[in-house]
Amino acid sequence: MRKKMLWLCGLLMVAAPAAMAADGGGKANYDKLCVSCHGADGKGNPAMAKVFGEKELNIATKETAAKKDDELLKVITEGRGKMPASGAKTLSKEDQKALVGHVRSLGK
């Protein structure tokens, strides 16, 4: 897991634009399924936070990035609390993994 983080860091530093396409589609799916609530940068859409009665929908946090793959996968595929299962359930395992990778990259 640590290795993967390092790899991602390196990738973002040397090839930020290329990394967008090289993340296995994580960002593309995030942009499709998650942006409306969590925002492009993961810091949360204030209007949606209001709808949900949450202070914020920020997932670009160290706390989120530190969570286990399984835990994040579960939230993404099954939903949790006020978050509905977001459509990621229909993605392939690889795409779900890439999505988790993207979420993790937001919280650095």
Residues binding ligand HEC (CB under 6 A) = 30, 33-34, 36-38, 48, 52, 54, 57, 59, 63-64, 67, 72, 75-76, 80-84, 86, 88, 99, 103
- Of 11 and 52, which has the nearer Cβ to ligand HEC? 52
81: left (phi over 0), alpha (psi -120 to 50) or beta: left
**For ligand HEC, the closer CB: 14 or 53:** 53
Is 36:108 a contact under the CB 8 Å cutoff?
A: no
| Residue pair 17/31 in contact by the 8 Å Cβ criterion | no
Shortest spacing between CB 18 and ligand HEC, in angstroms: 22
CB 1 within 8 Å of CB 69: yes
Residue among 80 and 108 whose Cβ is closer to ligand HEC: 80
